[in-house]
Amino acid sequence: MTTLLIGIVLFFAVHAIPMLPNVKTALLARLGENRFKGLFSLFAMAGFVAIVFGMDEAPFRPLWTPPSWSHTVTNLAMPVAFCLLVAAYIPSNFRRIVRNPMLSGVLLWSLAHLVSNGDVASILLFGSFGVFSVVDIISANGRSTPAVPAKKPAWLDALVIVMGLAVFWLVRYYHASLFGVAVPF
């Protein structure tokens, strides 16, 4: 469990830097943009790797048993979460509706997985991502008020949905291989 906790702390400590403009500005001034981005990526990746290994080695300690309907909720929420994640990278009309599609997708992903997992390690993992997403959404909304993006062609919205569903099905199909947990269909 220690490796998981170290990974979570490292991953989110690095990702909290943009929420602290004075710290980010000081680091950019001291390191330069390229070094800052390199170190940011290195520490974020180290945190992510520690999370993966930490989840793999964490003992299964159930706190509660997920209800029988929990997997249905997760299976319905995850396609939406993946579409939101894709919408963060493809200019579409989703940004006209959801200001922070990446963070909203991660929040939905974490909530969907909290419903289906009642063990300590999963609660730590998905709970930390959920809490961080909420904090980062609030922080991002407080930092600036961007203009509503211009209307985009409908085919870009369709592309987001098709790609989001494709990624969802790929992750779902390979979930056991990637994460060691089979997804009930």
Helix (H) or strand (E) holding 4: helix 2-15
Contact 108, 81 (CB under 8 A): yes
| Three-point CA angle 175, 3, 86, nearest 5° | 40
Output phi, psi for 62, to 5 deg. Answer: -70, 135
DSSP calls for 142-173: HH--PPPPPP--HHHHHHHHHHHHHHHHHHHH
- The per-residue pLDDT for range 95-152, each reduced to its tens digit, is 999 999 999 999 999 999 999 999 999 999 999 999 999 999 998 888 777 778 889 9
- The per-residue pLDDT for range 12-42, each reduced to its tens digit, is 999 999 888 899 999 999 999 999 999 999 9
pTM exceeds 0.75, yes or no: yes
Strand segments, DSSP code E, in the chain are none
| Three-point CA angle 149, 153, 158, nearest 5° | 105
Q: Where are the domains of the chain?
A: 1-58, 60-185
Residue 62's SS3 state is: strand
**The dihedral sign for the CA sequence 139, 115, 62, 177:** negative
